[in-house]
Amino acid sequence: MEKRIIGRGVLLGGLGGLLAFLFARILAEPIIDRAIDYESGRDDAQMALDKAAGKPMDHEMGAELFTRGQQANIGLGFGVIVLGMAMGALFGVVYYLALRRAGKITARNLALLVSGGMFLAVYAVPFLKYPANPPGSSDADTIKERTGMFVVMIAISAVALLAAVWLGRRLAARLGNWTAAVAAAASFTVVMAVVMLALPSFASETPEALKDPSGAIVYPGFPAADLYEFRLYSFAAQAILWIVIGVGFAWLAPRLLGERAESATAAA
């Protein structure tokens, strides 16, 4: 049964990735194009300032391996769909493990809870600390550090969420399901707030207006509207992926698992 669950998760993840790609291609890619134009224009302005100041010119750019069209279509599409399939497979594993401890939760509701929890831990909570940035809106030299911190946030968020679920189950017998759920959610929120305060931030990297030695603005700062919209669309694309996985599996669960799923959840 686990192979069927994981297989359906992979298929739903691929479908969710495809829909997320189409969404991002229509709404986010124009912002990326503007961000690339901004970065190029800012580099040209910086080169002009350096030349006027007599500084050595060190702005050589390597040849592009892939065209912008290839990156926006084949590259983005392939990457998002593969990511979706990987997340679908991970969902299948987590769902299968949770199914045996689901208590009175139905197979459909469990699918929604697992997908919602994974979206929260894998993307939404880390996103609050380290949101997505378009090209030119952050320091390229810190990309490895920012990526590393995002992975750290995912790991901590996942562990904290599992601990909150365990705490909620432990408290349910004494406090009731509602109070226990509120206590577990509050504990998770407090822990993640402390973690976010403790981990380094990179918000100050967003480029401000470029000025010449006299203080005159020669190139504007990165457009705040583009930064906001890019982050909004990035978040929405991930939400689409997890909604397709969760709702799709909730629809498939009774047919996929049949009486075995219902008896397993009832007996647990």
Q: What is the pLDDT of residues 178-210, one digit of tens each?
A: 898 899 999 999 999 999 999 988 765 678 888
The per-residue pLDDT for 177 is 82
Q: Is the pLDDT of residue 129 over 50?
A: yes
C-alpha Rg value of the chain to the nearest Å: 23
The per-residue pLDDT for 59 is 52
> What residues does 97 pair with on adjacent strands?
none
Q: What is the pLDDT of residues 137-181, one digit of tens each?
A: 777 777 888 889 999 999 999 999 999 989 988 888 888 888 988
What region does 196 belong to: left with phi over 0, alpha with psi -120 to 50, or beta?
alpha
Q: Is the pLDDT of residue 229 over 60?
A: yes
Distances (CA, A) of 74 to 27, 47, 83, 201: 17, 33, 14, 32
Q: Which two tokens stand for residue 39?
A: 């970065």
Q: Is the pLDDT of residue 262 over 60?
A: no
The per-residue pLDDT for 49 is 80
Confidence of residue 66 (pLDDT cuts 50, 70, 90): low
Q: For 28, phi and psi rounded to 5 degrees? A: -90, -35
Confidence of residue 102 (pLDDT cuts 50, 70, 90): confident
The mean pLDDT of 53-62, rounded to a whole number, is: 61
Q: pTM for this structure?
A: 0.84
- Rounded to whole angstroms, the Cα distance separating 80 from 55 reads 42
Distances (CA, A) of 163 to 158, 170, 191: 9, 11, 11
